[in-house]
């Protein structure tokens, strides 16, 4: 089975986690929910949405230095999401653009128990720090073309990754599985089993709701 932990386009099956904004919470599928950093200034309580049996994670939330929202607001709202992740015992899916130091500082300060996943991983220089801090790595469509990422993936343990199509509607999750299996030099079946194990370990409400 091909598990897609982060997509913006639903295929209406149980093998994906649809990412939705708090203001658009009509998902029939399993979902993750949050205020994206671009909407950080709109943040308000969304406990009832998180309580849904279908809500498997908080996210994507985080810090993005390429957008216009003040970094102080983004940090404050990200901390709110960390608190929700801890309160509801759900993993956190993180959007990080040029802000790993800030995100790591918050992690160090709050010492959260829930799993964190850095989605759409691209910034290979931060890889050692991400692994050291026990943050899972979301591998998305960039793995199909990004040579630096391909090289970096060679040194990422397969039990530390999850796979995603993110906001790319043209890429099938199976293509990402095939590419990753090739890079890691393992069979597609081996990869499927390992990712399934990672997925179940991370998204504990999957198939239990």
Minimum distance from residue 119 beta carbon to Zn ion (Å): 6
Which residues are within 8 A (CB) of 72 and not within 5 positions of it... i.e. 6 or more apart? none
**With respect to Zn ion, which residue has the nearer C-beta, 144 or 186?**
144
Minimum distance from residue 158 beta carbon to Zn ion (Å): 22
- Of 123-131, 165-173, 174-182, 191-199: span binding Zn ion (CB under 5 A): 165-173
Number of amino acids touching Zn ion (CB under 5 A) = 1
Task: Return the closest-CA partner of residue 33 out of 66, 2, 64, 8.
Answer: 8
- Of 37-45, 79-87, 130-138, 163-171: span binding Zn ion (CB under 5 A): 163-171
- Of 61-69, 135-143, 164-172, 180-188: span binding Zn ion (CB under 5 A): 164-172
Q: Does the footprint of Zn ion cover residue 166 (CB under 5 A)?
A: yes
Task: Return the closest-CA partner of residue 104 out of 90, 123, 89, 88.
Answer: 123
**With respect to Zn ion, which residue has the nearer C-beta, 24 or 189?**
24
Minimum distance from residue 166 beta carbon to Zn ion (Å): 5
Residue 62 β-bridge partners: 95
Residue nearest to Zn ion (CB): 166
**With respect to Zn ion, which residue has the nearer C-beta, 120 or 126?**
120
Number of C-alpha atoms within 13 angstroms, CB side, residue 42?
11
Residue 163 β-bridge partners: 139
Looking at residue 13, the DSSP 8-state letter turns out to be S
Q: Does the footprint of Zn ion cover residue 16 (CB under 5 A)?
A: no
Cα of 153 vs its chain's centroid, Å: 17
Minimum distance from residue 16 beta carbon to Zn ion (Å): 12
**With respect to Zn ion, which residue has the nearer C-beta, 38 or 107?**
38
Instruction: Quote the CA–CA distance of 27 and 18 in Å, as a whole number.
Output: 8
Number of C-alpha atoms within 13 angstroms, CB side, residue 146?
17
Minimum distance from residue 175 beta carbon to Zn ion (Å): 17
Q: Could you count the other beta carbons within 10 Å of the beta carbon of residue 24? A: 8
Q: How many residues in the chain?
A: 209
Minimum distance from residue 93 beta carbon to Zn ion (Å): 8
Question: Which residues bind to Zn ion, rule: CB under 5 A?
Answer: 166
């Amino acid at each position: 089975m091909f598990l897609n932990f982060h997509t913006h386009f639903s295929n209406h099956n149980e093998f994906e986690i649809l990412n939705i904004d708090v203001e658009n919470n009509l998902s029939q599928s399993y979902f993750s929910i949050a205020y994206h950093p671009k909407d950080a200034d709109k943040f308000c309580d969304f406990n009832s949405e998180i309580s849904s049996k279908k809500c498997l994670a908080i996210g994507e939330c985080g810090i993005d230095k390429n957008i216009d929202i003040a970094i102080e607001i983004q940090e404050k709202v990200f901390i709110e999401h960390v608190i929700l992740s801890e309160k509801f015992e759900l993993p956190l899916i993180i959007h990080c653009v040029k802000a790993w130091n800030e995100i790591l500082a918050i992690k160090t300060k709050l010492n959260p128990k829930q799993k964190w996943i850095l989605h759409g991983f691209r910034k290979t220089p931060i890889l050692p720090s991400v692994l050291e801090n026990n943050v899972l790595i979301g591998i998305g469509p960039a793995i199909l073309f990004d040579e630096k990422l391909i090289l970096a993936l060679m040194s990422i343990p397969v039990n530390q990754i999850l796979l995603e199509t993110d906001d790319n509607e043209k890429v099938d999750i199976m293509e990402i599985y095939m590419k990753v299996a090739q890079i890691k030099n393992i069979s597609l079946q081996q990869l499927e089993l390992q990712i399934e194990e990672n997925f179940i370990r991370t998204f504990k409400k999957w198939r239990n709701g």
